[in-house]
Chain A
Amino acid sequence: GESVGLHLPTLSVQEGDNSIINCAYSNSASDYFIWYKQESGKGPQFIIDIRSNMDKRQGQRVTVLLNKTVKHLSLQIAATQPGDSAVYFCAESTSGSRLTFGEGTQLTVNP
């Protein structure tokens, strides 16, 4: 079936650097994408979303880029902080359907 996957299972960065977390999806019909952050022992926390009619969306310190041509999604975190250490999941859906989650990337921020 269709699935959403991630390029890298782990990412380690220095505090203050920018982080880029990547996600590949295979369902060309997907039209809504979300990034979630999950800290240990907690549920996923919504970070930012983007619809397929956009290719970039910015939030506070975060930017999501969508490349529909190659079915690629990325999350950029500016000035990464220790509190950003967590597992990051991308998720996708087609209008009216349930979310499909990727495998997750463990981000570790070194002080």
Chain B
Amino acid sequence: GAVVSQHPSWVICKSGTSVKIECRSLDFQATTMFWYRQFPKQSLMLMATSNEGSKATYEQGVEKDKFLINHASLTLSTLTVTSAHPEDSSFYICSAYSGISYNSPLHFGNGTRLTVT
């Protein structure tokens, strides 16, 4: 089945530094990938839609200059949390459609636990 790989699985960084998270589709090409954030005991909140070869589309309230998204190829999207602060500590999850239609399952990576100290 379709596999989405996310790296790293966890990261601890100091306040003010930047962290890059990678999301790869391993056995399919993904023109669109999605980045979610999940706080403890809460649901997934969509942050942005990452489009291969073009700018990402951010959800309302998500700072595009703080959460930089790059989708340089059909199998890789990256999320960079710039100047991280403790309130950015969360579980970040990427996903991609395995099919060409939105009416096909969305597959998720295993998430990245970010802790900002």
Contact = CB atoms under 8 A, between A and B. Distances in A.
Contact of B43 (A45, A89, A97): A89
B108 A45 contact: yes
* Interface bracket on B: 20 to 34
Interface of chain B, main secondary structure: strand
Contacts of A41: 111, 113
Nearest to A34: B105
Contacts, number: 51
Interface string B28-52: 0000001000000011101001000
Contacts of B102: 32, 93, 95-97
Contacts of A42: 110-111
A84 B110 CA distance: 18
Interface of A: 31-32, 34, 36, 41-46, 49, 51, 89, 91, 93, 95-99, 101-104
Interface of B: 4, 6, 34, 42-44, 46, 49, 93, 95, 102-103, 105-111, 113
